[in-house]
Amino acid sequence: MLPVTAITREDAEHCPVRSVLGTVNGKWQSLLILALEDGDLRFSAIKRLLGDISQRVLTENLRMLERDGYVTRTVTPGPPVAVSYGLTPMGRSMLETLKPMVLWAAENFSAVQKARLDYDQM
């Protein structure tokens, strides 16, 4: 079994699985990495692409991904100043890990919906 047990708070803070997956396992983080697959995008383009994300949540998640080294932020002097985001080599590596899960989700979406419906009717 993978090392996922943490008895103390300190164990949890030093657990690589919890630390890394806690950052990229959320809905927005995964979607942001997937959105940047085809190249750098400006903030407004990312927001349009994702649609249902608020500006605040988008900013927070981009900063988190940048802090952890998955995303770069590039500022091009203007006027107007242009800020774009792109994947780092580590972000590309994470993308290649995420893609099979995305394909799995698409292939199994109907089965998951049915399981949820069946469960909810119990």
What does the pLDDT look like over 52-103, one tens digit per residue? 999 999 999 999 999 999 999 999 987 888 899 999 999 999 999 999 988 9
Report the domain count for the chain.
1
- Residue 3 falls inside a structural domain: no
CA distance 116 to 110: 10
Q: How far apart are alpha carbons 24 and 20 in whole angstroms?
A: 7
CATH number at residue 91: 1.10.10.10
Q: Check whether 117 has a pLDDT greater than 70.
A: yes
Q: Which domain range does residue 79 map to?
A: 9-120
Does 4 map to a domain?
Answer: no
Measured CA to CA, the distance from residue 48 to residue 58 in angstroms comes to 11
Please state whether the peptide bond connecting residue 89 to the residue before it is cis, i.e. omega within 30 degrees of 0: no
In this predicted model, what pLDDT tens digit does every residue of 8-47 receive, in sequence order?
Answer: 877 777 777 777 777 777 789 999 999 999 999 999 999 9
